[in-house]
Structure 1
Amino acid sequence: MSTAVLVGSTGQVGASILTYLLAHPSFTAIYAYARRDLPNFAASTKLNPITSSDTSQWASIFPREMHPKIMFSGLGTTRAAAGSVEAQRKVDYDLNMELATAAKDAGVETYVLISTTGASATSRFAYPKMKGELEDSVKALKFKHTVILRPGFIAGDRTSRESGVAEVALRWVAKGLGSVSPALKNPWAQDGELIARAAVAAGVKCLEGKQEEGVWEIGQSGVVSLGAELEKK
């Protein structure tokens, strides 16, 4: 039984991670960061919100006194929502690293990061480059277990403010193909709930000693299989 920390708990993937963590018997308490009040639809006594609109203070209020063993990060924003690449980086890279460093200092052993397919610090494109730099920086912290999930296009509902025109179109394509057969969608796009299940399943494997120590990078096929594995339980 473990205590977990979650950041990005109101996002498309993070909200689903929170749901699965609250329902999973391996976790006794979930400390979830948010800038606004978190819904607790299941009225779970496990949920411990860390609510502050000042994200610059989040690292300083990390719940180290609760000795969490695992942290999940679904934290991220879109350029459309942030307004610029520079503003997006302050969330996707800077804030993520502040919290990952706080987690390492607090003794967290397993860190689970939602990244993206194609992430590379050498990419010519801003978003995968930023995600690759984040991956490299998190790896350098040397958690006992560093789990990096690289899903493809994240399908599902998202507000128009968070999405560009092309992204909205891709969501409709993914939804249509998924309604015909998941096999037509899963190789390139995964629903947020599926990604969340994969993240929780991977984290639990690490906590239970079923995954060797070090860095575990999970691509799209792994996300699909791990997500299906947790769904069956």
Structure 2
Amino acid sequence: MTSAVLAGSTGRVGSHILTTLLALPSISAVFAYTRRDLAHLTSHKLTPLQSLSPTDWPSLFPTSPPPQLFLSGLGTSKAAAGSFENQYKIDHDLNLALATAAKHAGADTYVLISAVGASATSRFAYNRMKGELEEAVKALGFEHTVIVRPGLIVGQRESAGAAEVVLRSVANGLGKVWNGLKDPWAQDSVVIARAAVAAGLACVEGKREAGVWVVGMGEIVRLGRVEWRE
């Protein structure tokens, strides 16, 4: 049985990670960071790590005994944060602080929802931010570091811009015709979530060698839909 901690439990991907974890018999306990009430989820497995101030979150990481698996779907948009600087504080700084807390607590496996094109040397600020986070968490030296890199995330997003809304609509339309037209560039949020959980459990259960595992778009589809079994 595996215990897990999740950051970003109310987001597009994170909310699906949470419901997926709670539904799996192999998961014994789930600790979920949140600023919102999770009363709509009734499960004896669920322990909310709730604080209105995310700066308190690292100090709330469970330590006795330490969960084996930590997953992060934590992130925001520039529009929601108010500026790129504020977005960086959440997407990079808070994520890194939580990963550091997980490492210090003794978690073995860390799973990060990143983004396609993430690179610390990218000319684009968003991709560079994601790449800098990837490099920082890899340097922490988890036994297993899983970096999930989806393309366009298809799912609800209140703060999405007009261009993203159009692209999501196109992706949804193509997916109804044939998933092969969508999968190479856009993935459903629930499929990404299931892939993240599947990859994390494969590491915890000793099915992957130690090190860094970058899960790209094709592997997301394979793990999260083609091979997914609850």
Same fold (TM over 0.5): yes
Q: Which residue of 1 aligns with 2:36?
A: 36
Give the 3-state SS of the residue equivalent to 1:90 in structure 2.
helix
Alignment of 1:59-74 (within 5 A): 59-74=58-73
Give the 3-state SS of the residue equivalent to 2:167 in structure 1.
helix
Alignment of 1:17-56 (within 5 A): 17-41=17-41, 43-56=42-55
Q: Which residue of 2 aligns with 1:119?
A: 118
Structure 1's 178 and 150: CA in aligned 2 closer, same or farther, altered over 3 A?
Answer: same
> How many angstroms does 1:230 deviate by?
5.1
Gaps of 5+ in 2: none
User: What CA distance in whole angstroms lies between the structure 2 residues aligned with 1:106 and 1:15?
Assistant: 24
Give the 3-state SS of the residue equivalent to 2:32 in structure 1.
strand
Q: Which residue of 2 aligns with 1:195?
A: 192
Q: Which residue of 2 aligns with 1:16?
A: 16
Q: Which residue of 2 aligns with 1:153?
A: 152
TM-score by length of 2: 0.97
Q: Which residue of 2 aligns with 1:207?
A: 204
Q: Which residue of 2 aligns with 1:217?
A: 214
Show CA shifts across 1:195-225 (max 9, x none): 0000000011001100000000111001110
Paired residues of 1:156 and 1:175 also in contact (CA < 8 A): no
Q: Calculate the aligned-residue CA RMSD, in Å.
A: 1.0
> How many angstroms does 1:229 deviate by?
4.5
Give the 3-state SS of the residue equivalent to 1:102 in structure 2.
helix
> How many angstroms does 1:26 deviate by?
1.6
Gaps of 5+ in 1: none
Q: Which residue of 2 aligns with 1:87?
A: 86
Q: Which residue of 2 aligns with 1:232?
A: 229
User: What CA distance in whole angstroms lies between the structure 1 residues aligned with 2:131 and 2:39?
Assistant: 32
Letter in 2 for 1:57: D
Aligned length: 230
Q: Which moved more, 1:19-28 or 1:108-117?
A: 19-28
Letter in 1 for 2:35: R
